[in-house]
Amino acid sequence: MRPFLLKLGATALTLGATLASSLYVTAHLKNPSAPLQPTVLASQQGGSVGGVTITPGVRRGDVQPVTSTYAS
Amino acid sequence: MTRSQLLQGEFWVRELGTRITRFSDHSELALLNGAEGEWVDVSAEMECLLREALRAYELSAGLVNAAVLPSMLAIGYTRSLTAGASTAKLDDARPAPRLPDVLSLQRGRARLELGCGVDLGGIAKGWMADRLAARLGPNALANLGGDLRANGPGPHGDGWPVGFAGVTVMLRDQGAATSSVRRRRWGDLHHLIDPRTGLPSRSGLEEVSVVAATGCDAEVVAKTALLLGPGLATAYCAAHAQAWWLS
């Protein structure tokens, strides 16, 4: 009798965990307040300037450049 | 930074340039390309560059592929373009083989499969800019033909001001590069080979500028984005670059 109870308990536990997981996933299928990647966030906040996209990792300056990257 | 350091840096660039050029029959790269499937001894710098070529292949999902040399020769890019391109034989152009399949590396030795060749022009400038900046000291900027690396706080402590697609960005421990098909053109052809076709890229993009963690990464990301074309370039840059400009 005892092994049968153990099997029954394990089965019930598995089914319960499966049911709880599916309910949780269904309830959190889309989370509109989930944080965005920094790059996406920057472009939504106007990080794209004149065709140039600049993420928060790069700072713009207003001084004369000492050199430039150009096509070669 | 002293004048002596600058001269030593210039010497290092020129000396390494003579070893990795494919336009000389006696360069280290030419010996590797002409080894007909045999193992050849390579210098530490060449070994690093070849490993970087393999890394670039992985980073670009195969689009930055140093094994495009046969296509480069087929389109007539057989010598420095200051001497003009030679006659193109486009029928000889083929999709490039997977670089990891044809390039084997051991410590101090390298081997290319018979009939294969590599061109390091796609990554060498960025890689050299990274190393040159490191050689020049903790607060230095090295720009090799548009591929650059800025180390340290710059002249006034707020980064190195660099012109980037019409704006100024302050770079600090970062690299930048531009990949373009607007230069090094002759007729309908240009130097940027799409390894999937073995022919010059016609992706719809002509120029891409990128800021990334290093000069070499910037060069690889810019080239990959240009080859991907306008549909995918933005997503790729968003994943791999810190700033970008597509044209």
- What's the pLDDT tens digit per position in B118-161? 999 879 999 999 999 999 999 999 999 889 999 999 999 999 99
pLDDT band at A48 (very low <50, low <70, confident <90, very high): very low
Per the listing, tokens 């980073």 go with B59
In chain B, where does the domain assigned CATH 3.10.520.10 lie?
Answer: 139-246
Interface predicted TM-score (ipTM) of this complex, two decimals: 0.86
Confidence of residue A46 (pLDDT cuts 50, 70, 90): very low
Looking at residue A37, its pLDDT comes to 57
pLDDT at A10: 96
Say if the Cβ atoms of A53 and B147 lie within 8 Å: no
Can you give the pLDDT at residue A39? 53
Is B169's CB within 8 Å of A59's CB?
yes
Tell me whether residues B146 and A65 touch, CB distance under 8 A: no
Looking at the complex, does the CB of residue A58 fall below 8 Å from at least one CB of chain B? yes
Determine the pLDDT at residue B82.
Answer: 77
Which residues 27-56 of chain A have a CB within 8 Å of chain B? 37, 39-40, 43, 49-55
Please say if the pLDDT value at position A65 is more than 80: yes
What is the DSSP-derived secondary structure letter of residue A37?
A: P
Give the distance from residue A38's alpha carbon to the nearest chain B alpha carbon, in angstroms: 9
Residue A30 CB neighbour total at 10 angstroms: 5
Residues 6+ apart with CB under 8 A from B119: B22, B66, B68, B69, B72
pLDDT of residue B133: 97
At A69 the pLDDT is 87
Is 60 exceeded by the pLDDT of residue A49?
no
Calpha distance B16→B14 (Å, rounded): 6
Q: What percent of chain B has pLDDT over 90?
A: 82
What pTM does this model have? 0.83
B171 to A58: CB separation less than 8 angstroms, yes or no: yes
Q: What is the pLDDT of residue A33?
A: 58
CATH code at B139-246: 3.10.520.10
pLDDT digits (tens, 9 = 90+) for B175-213: 999 999 988 777 888 889 999 999 999 999 999 999 999
How many CA atoms, within 13 angstroms, populate the side-chain half-sphere of residue B35? 23
Domain B3-122: CATH architecture, name and number where available: Orthogonal Bundle (1.10)
Which residues lie below 8 Å from residue B157, measured CB to CB, with a gap of 6+? Answer: none
Look at residue B101 and tell me whether its pLDDT is greater than 80. yes
pLDDT of residue A44: 46
Report the pLDDT averaged over residues B16-40: 95
CATH 1.10.3980.10 residue ranges for chain B: 3-122
